[in-house]
């Protein structure tokens, strides 16, 4: 059994940690299936899981990109709120003014993406040009974006969108929820960005050591600004899914996603110090979380218990990572010393 897994993983997993993640994911699915033999693997449950996680999955994608460059984006949820509120205002007023639904949806999506680019540009410039650490820059813009969202809505929620808009969040194609399809597309695009583009390559390098990347001719500022623009764009997509699923928008919606996003990103193998993070790991972490959450939900555990579980899981994973790394370092040092000894004699 042990041998099998190691053989299997030898070829499949580029990232060593993904091996453990894969096992954890399988275990969580198996446990839920055993505990809930009738309800868990039912089509309707799978469908509902697939439509639940994308809005938060997009935020996690965004967070991972920031973390790969050695930063963090505390403003993702706020950016989603801000863009969402703007979209909601457009949709709502278009609806009451009798504008055709298609035009309104088109306008709102353009607005979301346009504002997202501006949000990301602002974050990126604060970090790249002013030199503010990402944690402080995005802490500030979090207040800024959320504040703007609140000012626009005066704290109320905005609803009443064209029916066509609702299909984005609630529609189904061939039994597959549209948010899920969007997420798959998003994840594939981000994976391509990371593994197949110069920007992605440079993000990993910059995250590992910005001085070395500068000395290697990488335009660090450009890489950082682009990263935070993509991050904000992903938050924008999340906001479109959010508002169309809920059929309304209120500032502060989804604030719990911030922690969850950081959690799955770290769980998925990204290093808060930068330089590491990959889509397969992140997907497995998201699936693990969604499966656990849905299972606990069916078993009628409260959302509070889930909150507790998330915190617990985050700390547990980090602690295990630490211990595993110490052990790995120890083994590596030992191996290297032995090699040195072998060549010396």
Partner 1 sequence: MKIKQLFRHSETYVLFIVILFSAFVTAINPAFLTLENLFDLLRSSSGTAILAIGIFLVLISGGVDVSCTTIAIVGQYISVNVLIATGFDNIWFAFAISMLLGVTLGAINAVFVSLFKLPTLIVTLGTSSLYHGAMLEFVGTKAVNVGGLPQSIKDFGAFNVLNVSRPDGSTFGLSVFFVILVVIILVTWFILKFTMIGRGIFAIGGNLEAAKRAGFNTRRIQFFVYMYAGLLAGIMGVMHLSLIRYSNPNYLVGTELSVIAAVVLGGARISGGSGTITGTMIGVILITILEKNLIMIGLSSYWQQFFVGLVLLIGVSITYLQAKFQDSGRRIIVKEEE
Partner 2 sequence: MAEVFLEARNISKTFVGVKALDNVDLTIGKGEIHCLIGENGSGKSTLIKIIGGVYKADSGIIRIEGTELRGMQAIESIRAGIQIIYQDLSLFPNLTVAENISVNQMLESNQQKVNWKQVRETARKALAEIGEDIPLDERVESLSVAKKQIIAISRALTQNAKLIIMDEATSAITSEEVSHLFSIILKLKQRGIATLFVSHKLSEVFQIAENITVLRDGKLLGVYPSSELDEEKLAYIMTGRMLKFEPYRYDEQMKDPVPLLEVKNLAKAGQYRNINFQLQKGEILGIIGLIGSGRTEVVESIFGIDGADSGSIMVSGKEVHIRNPRDGMRHGIAFLPEDRLTQGLFDVQSIGNNIVITILKSFLKKSRMLDVRKKKQAESEWVEKLSIKTPTPANPANSLSGGNQQRVVLAKWLATDPKIFILDGPTIGIDIGSKHTIHEIIRDLARQGMGIIMISDEAQEILDNCNRILVMSGGRIIREIKDSTTISRDELLDVIAKRVETGADA
Positions in the binding site for partner 1 (CB under 8 A) = 72, 74, 126, 130-133, 135-137, 139-148, 150-151, 154-155, 255, 259, 262-263, 266, 272-273, 302, 304-312, 314-315, 318-319, 322-323
Smallest distance from partner 1 to CB 319, Å: 5
Does residue number 12 form part of the binding site for partner 2 (CB under 8 A)? no
DSSP for 232-252 reads HHHHHHHHHHHHHHHTEE-TT
Smallest distance from partner 1 to CB 157, Å: 14
Per-residue b/e over 156-169, b at no fewer than 16 CB within 10 Å?
Answer: ebbeebbeebeebb
Question: Between residues 11 and 304, which has the closer beta carbon with respect to partner 1?
Answer: 304
State how far the Cα of 212 lies from the Cα of 225, in Å rounded to an integer. Answer: 18
Smallest distance from partner 1 to CB 78, Å: 9
The option from partner 2, partner 1, none interacting with 204 (CB < 5 to 8 A, set by class) reads: partner 2
First to last CA, the chain: 38
Where would I find the beta strands (DSSP E) of 172-278?
A: 172-173, 176-177, 248-249
Q: Which of 30, 173, 299, 340 binds partner 2 (CB under 8 A)?
A: 340
The option from partner 2, partner 1, none interacting with 144 (CB < 5 to 8 A, set by class) reads: partner 1
Question: Between residues 186 and 274, which has the closer beta carbon with respect to partner 1?
Answer: 274
Question: Between residues 195 and 255, which has the closer beta carbon with respect to partner 2?
Answer: 195
Query: What CA dihedral angle connects 225, 14, 263 and 136, to 10 degrees?
Result: -30
Does residue number 93 form part of the binding site for partner 2 (CB under 8 A)? no
SS3 271: coil
**At a CB cut-off of 8 Å and minimum separation 6, what does 74 contact?**
135, 138, 139, 142, 258
Smallest distance from partner 2 to CB 213, Å: 7
Question: Between residues 137 and 158, which has the closer beta carbon with respect to partner 1?
Answer: 137
Q: How far is CA 121 from CA 201, 221, 273, 309, 329, in A?
A: 20, 11, 22, 35, 39
Asked if 69 and 201 count as a contact pair (C-beta separation under 8 A), the reply is no
State how far the Cα of 101 lies from the Cα of 163, in Å rounded to an integer. Answer: 8
Kindly report the backbone phi and psi dihedral angles of residue 161, in degrees, each rounded to the nearest multiple of 5, phi listed first.
-100, 160
Question: Between residues 64 and 187, which has the closer beta carbon with respect to partner 1?
Answer: 64
Question: Between residues 35 and 136, which has the closer beta carbon with respect to partner 1?
Answer: 136
Q: Which of 37, 43, 175, 217 binds partner 2 (CB under 8 A)?
A: 217
Does residue number 10 form part of the binding site for partner 2 (CB under 8 A)? no
State how far the Cα of 17 lies from the Cα of 14, in Å rounded to an integer. Answer: 9
Question: Between residues 108 and 141, which has the closer beta carbon with respect to partner 1?
Answer: 141
From 102-110, 149-157, 172-180, 194-202, span contacting partner 2 (CB under 8 A): 194-202
- 159 membership: H or E segment, kind and range: strand 158-159
Give the interface with partner 2 as residue ranges (CB under 8 A): 192, 195-198, 201-202, 204-205, 208-209, 211-219, 275, 333-334, 336-338, 340-341, 344
């Amino acid at each position: 059994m042990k041998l099998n897994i190691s053989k299997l993983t030898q070829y499949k997993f580029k990232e060593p940690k993904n091996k453990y993640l894969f096992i954890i994911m399988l275990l969580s699915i198996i446990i839920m299936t055993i505990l809930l033999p009738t309800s868990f693997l039912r089509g309707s449950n799978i469908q509902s899981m697939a439509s639940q996680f994308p809005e938060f999955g997009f935020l996690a994608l965004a967070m991972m990109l920031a973390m790969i460059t050695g930063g963090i984006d505390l403003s993702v949820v706020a950016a989603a709120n801000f863009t969402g509120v703007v979209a909601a205002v457009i949709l709502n007023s278009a609806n009451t003014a009798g504008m055709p639904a298609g035009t309104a949806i088109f306008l709102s999506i353009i607005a979301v993406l346009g504002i997202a680019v501006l949000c990301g540009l602002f974050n990126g410039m604060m970090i790249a040009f002013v030199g503010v650490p990402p944690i402080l820059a995005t802490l500030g813009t979090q207040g800024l974006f959320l504040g703007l969202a609140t000012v626009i809505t005066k704290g109320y929620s905005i609803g009443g969108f064209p029916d066509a808009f609702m299909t984005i969040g609630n529609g189904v194609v061939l039994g597959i929820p549209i948010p899920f399809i969007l997420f798959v597309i998003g994840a594939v695009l981000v994976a391509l960005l990371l593994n197949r583009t110069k920007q992605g390559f440079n993000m990993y390098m910059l995250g590992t050591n910005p001085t070395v990347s500068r000395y290697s001719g990488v335009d660090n500022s450009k890489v950082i600004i682009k990263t935070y623009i993509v991050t904000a764009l992903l938050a924008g997509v999340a906001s479109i899914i959010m508002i169309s699923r809920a059929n309304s928008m209120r500032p502060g919606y989804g604030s719990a996603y911030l922690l969850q996003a950081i959690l799955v990103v770290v769980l998925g193998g990204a290093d808060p110090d930068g330089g590491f993070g990959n889509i397969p790991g992140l997907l497995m972490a998201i699936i693990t979380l969604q499966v656990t959450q849905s299972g606990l939900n069916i078993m009628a555990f409260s959302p509070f218990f889930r909150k507790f579980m998330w915190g617990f899981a985050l700390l547990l994973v980090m602690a295990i990572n630490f211990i595993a790394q110490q052990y790995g370092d120890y083994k590596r040092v030992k191996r290297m010393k032995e090699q040195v000894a072998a060549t010396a004699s």
